[in-house]
Amino acid sequence: MKRVIIALDFDPSAQKVAEEGYALAKALKAKVTLVHVKADADYYSSLGQVVVIGFSGHLKDDLPIAPDRIDPDTISQEFLNKAMLHLADKNIEVMVANGSCANSLIDAANQLNAYMIVMGSHSRKWFENTTIGSVTQKVLLGSSIPVFVIPTNKNRID
C-alpha cells in the first residue's frame, strides 16, 4: 500500500498541512505517517505558548521554560499524538525524527518507503518558498519521491 508522510512543525499552519495532507493521502488510498523533526530544547523553550492542532505545549503564562527542563522527545510525541487525534484516524502512524529537517524528512520517507512527502510552505510568496537555505528547497532538491507543498500563507502571490 502507498504511504504518504506529512511533515508537521509547531507553526500554526500545521493544522492546515495536516488536514490537507490527510485528505490527499485518503484520496490516494495511502497510509499516513505524521513526521516531526525534533529540535533541541532551546527551540522549544523560545516558542512561548504554542497552540497547534489541539496541542497547547508545556509553556504557561507565555513565559518560556528553561531548556534544561524541556524534553524534546516528549513534546514532539505529544504534538504528533494530538495531530493524530485531530484527524480522528487511529490508523495514522507517527514518527519523531532526529537531525537536520530536510535530511531527516528525506531519510524518513526513504525508510518508510513513502510514495510522497507532504509539507507546508511558510513564505509570503510561492517563488520565495524555494529560496536558498529553506527546508522546502532542500527537500524538493534532495528527494527522489514526489513532494507536495501546501502554501500556508494567506498573503502569498502565485
pTM, full prediction: 0.82
Reading the chain (158 residues) residue by residue, the pLDDT tens digits are 799 999 998 888 889 999 999 999 999 999 999 999 998 777 776 665 555 665 555 444 444 555 566 788 888 898 899 899 989 999 999 999 999 999 999 999 999 999 999 999 866 555 554 443 488 889 999 999 999 999 877 554 44
What pLDDT, on a 0 to 100 scale, did the predictor assign at position 76? 87
| Residue 62: CA count within 13 A, CB half-sphere | 0
CB within 8 A of 154, min separation 6: which ones?
none
What is the pLDDT at residue 27?
96
Q: What is the pLDDT of residue 136?
A: 85
b vs e for 129-146, b when ≥16 Cβ sit within 10 Å of the residue's Cβ?
beeeebbbebbbeebeee
pLDDT, residue 66, reads: 56
Amino acid identity, residue 71? D
